Amino acid sequence: MPFYLTTPIYYVNGEPHLGHVYTTVAADVVARHMRQRGEDVFFLTGTDEHGEPVSLAAEREGIPPRELADRNAERFKQVAARINATNDFFIRTSDPEHAAVVSEVVTRLKDNGHVYEGTYEGWYCPRCADFKTDSELLDGDRCPIHLIELEREQEDNWFFRLSTFQEPLEQLYAENPEWVLPGSRYNEALSFIKGGLQDLSLSRARISWGVPVPWDPDQVIYVWIDALLNYYSALSYAREGEDLTEKFWPADVHLIAKDILKFHAVFWPALLMAADLPVPARLYVHGYLLMDDHKMSKSLGNVLDPFKVMDIYGTDALRYYLLREVSFGQDGSISPEGFESRYNTELANDYGNLASRTLAMIKRYRDGVVPESEPAAGLVDEFGDLTTTVCARLDRIEVSAALDEIWTRVRLLNRYVQDSEPWKLAKDPQSAGDLDVILYGLAEGLRVVSLLLLPYLPETADRLLAALGQEERSIEAARFAASRGGARIGDLGQLFPKIESPEATAA
């Protein structure tokens, strides 16, 4: 089955920070998991390069917007590769192929009678590239996200008749109660719609860094409309000589954070309807990574450099931490101290030590071959239908809830080894059968959790599976007692070496 999943495309007005990495990692976990299930996955990420946030940043640096876009798009590409994201394409909205699709779709909106000329007046935030309503403002004139003072702006431009989509949108929501997940975001978007929709300006006259309006080239298409269309345009040129639109459109999931809910949950489906295109199957809206109680963001300056963190701790550790520390869907704080604590207690101890102890015992007591044995009934029960549960969670993009299910079993295996004390049984030849059961159970448990952890810890879980003598990586193999032992184990080395350096925590 085709499965199409996207991240937001990130603004190139600054360098990538952990907030951006967060969404990309979560999307990558889902993409990898779906591939393990045999789905035909297309995973898209990229950069949003036009519009005022980018042209203002370029102006501040005294360089042309394209130069800034080229430089930062490269950084976003690098960070995606460095975090081991398996995106199938990286779109840049400055790609000429994208611009051609934008022109084509907005022309269709106009031909369909959804576009007119008008004047807009309101509070405008250039960093958001968005107008704000009075009720959204802080202290009467400040942007609730960037905290900067806003000016009232007036502009003649082209408008999209968003207001006429109120009813079709309400119907979309009524017919698809899980169209936006989690439910709280569905309610938020729906109440925004029910509050009454105003038409949306579709172009900007003040800036030139964008896709020209096909019928009025003095104006450029509003950056948000340009940007949203990336999800659709990418499919038409991601593969040379092939159009993937038929196969993958509409998207199965757009993953976003709550800052851009309105654009995706309201404007986007309306635009698609107006262009006679099918709407995506689902949006998943996650919360914010906070540092010192504030949303991590370039403009607030409280960012952690993902490259530095990965240099010190490795890629898997960062992937794990982000999805483990913050319950996906909610806001949550991250910190160097929290990172170090999870790294040491969970990755190095719970998983890493369990793995090295288990392999060492199999080497020592059973000549490096996993015993062929019956599984302990207790473990069979505790593993239960773990894989089914993890799949169900990930179907709903509950990325940290799925990880929690898996980690409960990692902890269970730790308790099992402590309680069953195999090193004592090893001294007594009469207990050989019992020791077989325990060593087999540990190897089997590690095999199952590692298969399920592969999307989260692609390097380390793979290394552990290889050390367990396992070649199979599909989700079907992730059933406790599906493998009956007999595998020859190999060398593992340390999965997560302890890190003591004080500079490490200051990263």
Binding site for ligand MSP (CB under 6 A): 8-11, 19-20, 22-23, 48, 227-228, 230, 256-257, 259-260, 288-289, 295-297
Give the Å distances, CA to CA, from 481 to 411, 434, 448, 474.
18, 16, 9, 15
In angstroms, how far is CA 63 from the centroid of its own chain?
Answer: 31
CA distance 249 to 104: 17
Q: How far is the CB of 219 from ligand MSP (least distance, A)?
A: 20
Q: How far is the CB of 102 from ligand MSP (least distance, A)?
A: 12
CA distance 383 to 370: 19
Q: How far is the CB of 17 from ligand MSP (least distance, A)?
A: 7
Q: How far is the CB of 53 from ligand MSP (least distance, A)?
A: 8
Residue tagged 């084509």 (tokens) = 104
The residue (of 280 and 485) whose beta carbon lies closer to ligand MSP is 280
3-state secondary structure labels for all residues of 246-271: HHHCCCCEEEEEHHHHHHHHHHHHHH
CA distance 328 to 76: 22
The residue (of 264 and 463) whose beta carbon lies closer to ligand MSP is 264
Q: Is 367 left (phi over 0), alpha (psi -120 to 50) or beta?
A: left
The residue (of 110 and 264) whose beta carbon lies closer to ligand MSP is 264
3-state secondary structure labels for all residues of 267-308: HHHHHHHHCCCCCCCCEEEECCEEECCEECCHHHCCCCCHHH
CA–CA–CA angle 279, 244, 50 (5° rounding)? 70
The residue (of 26 and 410) whose beta carbon lies closer to ligand MSP is 26
The residue (of 48 and 252) whose beta carbon lies closer to ligand MSP is 48
Beta bridge partners of 58: none
The residue (of 255 and 362) whose beta carbon lies closer to ligand MSP is 255
Burial of 394 (0-12, 13-18, 19+ CB in 10 A): buried
CA atoms within 13 A on the CB side of 464: 32
Nearest residue to ligand MSP, by Cβ distance, number only: 19
Contacts of 451 (CB under 8 A, 6+ apart): 36, 461, 465, 472, 473, 475, 477, 478
Sign of CA dihedral 145, 149, 151, 152: positive
Q: How far is the CB of 351 from ligand MSP (least distance, A)?
A: 26
Q: How far is the CB of 170 from ligand MSP (least distance, A)?
A: 23
In angstroms, how far is CA 139 from the centroid of its own chain?
Answer: 33
Do 213 and 221 meet the contact criterion of CB atoms below 8 Å apart? yes
Contacts of 78 (CB under 8 A, 6+ apart): none
The residue (of 28 and 48) whose beta carbon lies closer to ligand MSP is 48
Nearest of 186, 189, 353, 211 to residue 263 by alpha carbon: 189
Q: Which residues are annotated as catalytic?
A: 17, 20, 125, 128, 143, 146, 295, 298
Q: How far is the CB of 59 from ligand MSP (least distance, A)?
A: 18
Roughly what angle, to the nearest 10 degrees, separates helices 230-237 and 96-111?
A: 120
The residue (of 297 and 400) whose beta carbon lies closer to ligand MSP is 297
Q: How far is the CB of 260 from ligand MSP (least distance, A)?
A: 5
Phi, psi of 332 (to 5 degrees): -165, 150
Beta bridge partners of 130: 125
Q: How far is the CB of 283 from ligand MSP (least distance, A)?
A: 11
The residue (of 271 and 317) whose beta carbon lies closer to ligand MSP is 271
Nearest of 232, 279, 222 to residue 98 by alpha carbon: 232
The residue (of 263 and 343) whose beta carbon lies closer to ligand MSP is 263
Q: How far is the CB of 127 from ligand MSP (least distance, A)?
A: 9
CA distance 381 to 383: 5
Helix (H, G, I), strand (E, B) or coil at 202: coil
Residues in the chain: 507
